[in-house]
Amino acid sequence: MPKAVIFDVDGTLVDSVDLHAESWAVTFDHFGHAIPVEKVRFQIGKGGDQLLPAMLGQKEADARGKEMEDWRGDLFKRHYLSRVRAFPEVVALFRHLRSDRKRVALASSAKSEELQIYKRIAGIEHLIDAETTLQDAERSKPHPDIFAAVLKKLHLRPADVVVVGDTHYDIEAAGALGIDAVGLLCGGFPEGVLRAAGAVAIYRDPADLLAEYASSPLA
């Protein structure tokens, strides 16, 4: 029986994956790289430290990555952030976990200031026991650093927790530490991709996970 559940945020708790993909595609175009949104979308779930080399190569990422990340971050705040919405039943799921004596944590590849906004959008500011962001880790997902950092904050072992995420990067990062991971389809990643990455169970979204809680790995 898990003592805590660790959640990814983008695409898992809030509907933001398409917005991130579009903002990155606009950014790449601004800097002279024509990359289709569909290609960028498959990289969402990583932090910029991993996404930029995957899209542009390490040389270009080293040369202009910081400039691109800053430009993209400002663009996202101005034109996309107001359109982010929480998925249904996130608050109810978190309250149910706490009533079941589970601790709740967030592990996101977002920056800290962005995560605070997402927590407000989802209405979960007072339902979190621990959180980690890109600032807490040397490398973002699919590397396990962010999950390792939240385990340290929770003072728990991998066997004591379950991860919930929407991308294969979440599943792979959790698996690298020996953590069981549950996949959600609401981020738009195919079920087969999540299962191939090692997801122990798949649900449609937080509402579906809540409805099936009693038979889920979270219970």
CATH topology of domain 4-16+85-215: Rossmann fold (3.40.50)
Measured over the CA atoms of residue 136, residue 141, residue 147 and residue 148, the dihedral's sign is negative
Q: What is the mean pLDDT of each run of 10 residues along the chain (219 residues)?
A: 96 97 97 96 90 95 94 95 97 98 94 92 97 90 94 97 97 97 97 98 98 98
In the chain, where the domains are located? 4-16+85-215, 17-82
DSSP, res 36: -
| Predicted model pTM | 0.95
- The CA-based angle 113-172-39, given to 5 degrees, is 70
Taking the C-alpha atoms of residue 148 and residue 47, their distance in angstroms, rounded to an integer, is 16
pLDDT at 1: 87
